Structure 1
Amino acid sequence: MVATDIQQPPAKTRSASSRVASLDGIRALAILAVILYHLGFAGWSGGFIGVNVFFVLSGYLITSLLLKEQMQTGSIHLGRFWFRRVLRLYPTLIGVVIVGASLWFLVRSDGASLRLDAGGAALIALTYTGNIARAFGHLSQGVFAPTWSLAMEEQFYLLWPPALLLLLSKGLRRRTIAWALAVLVVAFSVTSGLLFVPPNPGATPDIYFNPISSAAPLLLGAVLALTLTHERARSFFAGVWGRVAIWLGFVGIVGLMVQITIEDNWQQEAHVFGLTLPAVALATAFLVAGLVSRPSVLGSVLSWKPLSWFGRNVSYSLYLWHMLVIALLEPFVSGFLGQLVLVAASIAVAIGSHYAIERPFLKVKARFEPASWSAPAKRERELAKA
């Protein structure tokens, strides 16, 4: 769950450094859906799809950032990119791991995490290998469990930027790269369904954490970013089809979440991993494509300042802290009111973490942004020609 810094401009009149506030609104709703799912709120058993929404956003935003740098400088400075990611993501993770490991004797409540001591769980979290540990080692990590998705994103950040740089340096057109990635998305989605093995009742199947399954929405986000570098695609979504895409995407995400909630046995169904979750990713891609390409009523709602501020500044910390807060406080509360207390406490801790941990490092991170980002891009017109 990552808040990134550069978002694709929806039109030629928008500057290259502009944010699309509605995407921050999506991020806020996605993290809240995940938290309500983890707390067992009635009607939110499909809230876990917020993770897939995040994956698409991350793939789109990071690829847009990389393409912007390549557009403006002719290359991608990989070392600087990775260092910025460390400054953005690692400080909060370290804070959560220190607190969680220190209180491990209080919070190691689930059976799977009992197989790990505090040091082992912390090591998996800090090395971004949680998805591997869960998919192949059947280790839950307890309160550090959310780091499995961060591990998947970090592995994507490690592999995709040099791959994109190599492909572009070899003269491949962005259109060609996008089509190749689209084929991979389909292949990974089909493979996820074929590799599905029903777990024990109440458990999550290994394929959910498998890199093959998680790579599909990340790559779909990259496909979208590459597609929207072309004038024809931007014009398509800037028109009436952009409005259609926005509502098709939004209704699709909500509808699929409701469908999973009604079924209430998604862990036992292969189609969830081969069809439903890929459909969530596709719906998210449609929603993002429309929102970054044209104004809309839904875009205005998602851009509401408190909502977009929350998504931009709190969502990452909230995703990391909420399981620890729940584990510490849940024994002392009960019922619906208790659930609300846990949500409020998690948000309060996340806001405090943002100001105390994230913001100081974000100021340092800003010093390592490419200098060309502060000036108009002379090569921006080249995007439409590739």
Structure 2
Amino acid sequence: MNYQPSLDGLRAIAALLVLMFHAKVPGMSAGFVGVDVFFVLSGFLITKLLIAEHERTGAIDYTGFTARRLRRLYPALILFLLVYLGAAPFIWPEIPTEKHEWDAFIAGFYMGDYATATGRPTAVISHLWSLGIEEKFYLLWPFTVAIAMRLRRSQAQLLVAAMFVGVTLWRAYNVETLDRYWHVYFRFDTHCSGLLLGSLAALTSIRPRAIFGWIGLLGLMAVLVIFDWKTRATAAVGISLAEIFSLMIVMASPAFLGKGVLPWLGKMSYGIYIWHYLFIKFGREYGLHWAENLIIAGIGGIVCAAISYYAVEQWLKAPRRTPISSTQ
């Protein structure tokens, strides 16, 4: 799969949306949709790579795929958790050390999504819930793609479309029937729809005109303005709209997203997402103004992500490059 700098640029936009949401920038109460952008983009890229592998070899090497995913994602996470375990007892002494250790265990085994959804969230690193959703998808999805590749392309598209609709309806049903409706946001079974929608796009050969990318961007901006954090409308409708508009951007890949500093930031978006929240949490507890918090978390997150990216992630993947490591 050829490298597309515009997709890294979109990753940067997604990370910045989440950063501004966590910093509580006015007018960004729906900035959490940056996570949905990540999900759609991840589903698209992973499915493209799995399809390419199947077409090239006639099969999907599940062990190899899983090893590449862990090699790409786990070193940065382990580095973060080690720093967190070393610093957290001093920065947040009111939280028992055992709680910090348990939270690191939960995050390290990608269980943050259901820990949060069941009312047992981590004390400081609650933002890592989204990694749990993505990792469960990575563990299950290769089997689905292997099945889909035995079907005609139209049948495979119908299968994945049905899965997307099913998860979307399941989320809407939970929103309407549960008192703690917002917990559906954190569950894999109710929030993997964006990954499925991105996967559906990967199964099509349609490349829409650039105007669709602009429409998607405008639509995503509308979602930021119209919807708010923790409302039934957002959980039932806002997430779906964010996914659809993200899909339009991913498929059209507007060229401007691949210009300037955006692709560089996009390459480190995973690290920025992981690291920024420690600075945000610290700033909140010390009463920093949102602008101060945004600047500190932005600079701190980018610096830590750059150290992780160049000193750990790039070094570990240097001996053997793979299609996944070159695009994700």
TM-score by length of 1: 0.78
The aligned counterpart of 2:82 is 98
Which structure is larger by alpha-carbon Rg, 1 or 2?
A: 1
Look up the equivalent residue of 1:227 and give its one-letter code. Answer: T
The aligned counterpart of 2:117 is 135
Taking the TM superposition and a 5 Å limit, the aligned residue runs for 1:1-386 are 17-108=1-92, 117-136=99-118, 138-168=119-149, 171-196=150-175, 197-199=178-180, 205-228=182-205, 233-234=206-207, 237=208, 242-260=209-227, 264=228, 266-267=229-230, 269-291=231-253, 299-312=254-267, 314-328=268-282, 334-335=288-289, 336-366=291-321
Residues 266-318 of structure 1 show CA distances to partners (whole Å, capped at 9, x for unaligned) of 31x32212211111101111121122xxxxxxx23211131111102x10111
Q: Distance in 1 between matches of 2:195 and 2:323?
A: 23
Calculate the aligned-residue CA RMSD, in Å.
Answer: 2.3
Residue 142 of structure 1 deviates from its aligned partner by 2.8
Answer yes or no: is the 8 Å Cα contact 2:280–2:293 preserved in 1: no
Residues 51-110 of structure 1 show CA distances to partners (whole Å, capped at 9, x for unaligned) of 001000000000001011111121111111111111100001001111112223245589
Tell me the secondary structure at the aligned position of residue 205 of structure 1.
helix
Look up the equivalent residue of 2:153 and give its one-letter code. Answer: R
Tell me the secondary structure at the aligned position of residue 103 of structure 1.
helix
Residues 135-179 of structure 1 show CA distances to partners (whole Å, capped at 9, x for unaligned) of 12x1221332222111111100000002211332xx312221211
Structure 1 residue runs without a partner (length 5+): 1-16, 292-298, 374-386
Residue 221 of structure 1 deviates from its aligned partner by 0.5
Distance 1:344 1:67, change over 3 A: same
Q: Distance in 2 between matches of 1:179 and 1:118?
A: 44
Residue 331 of structure 1 deviates from its aligned partner by 5.2
Number of equivalenced pairs:
322
Tell me the secondary structure at the aligned position of residue 10 of structure 2.
helix
Distance 1:118 1:338, change over 3 A: closer
Residue 341 of structure 1 deviates from its aligned partner by 2.4
Look up the equivalent residue of 2:125 and give its one-letter code. Answer: F
Tell me the secondary structure at the aligned position of residue 142 of structure 1.
coil
Structure 2 residue runs without a partner (length 5+): none
Tell me the secondary structure at the aligned position of residue 305 of structure 1.
coil
Answer yes or no: is the 8 Å Cα contact 2:11–2:266 preserved in 1: yes
Q: Distance in 1 between matches of 2:96 and 2:237?
A: 34
Residues 105-126 of structure 1 show CA distances to partners (whole Å, capped at 9, x for unaligned) of 245589xx87961221111111
Answer yes or no: is the 8 Å Cα contact 2:19–2:294 preserved in 1: no
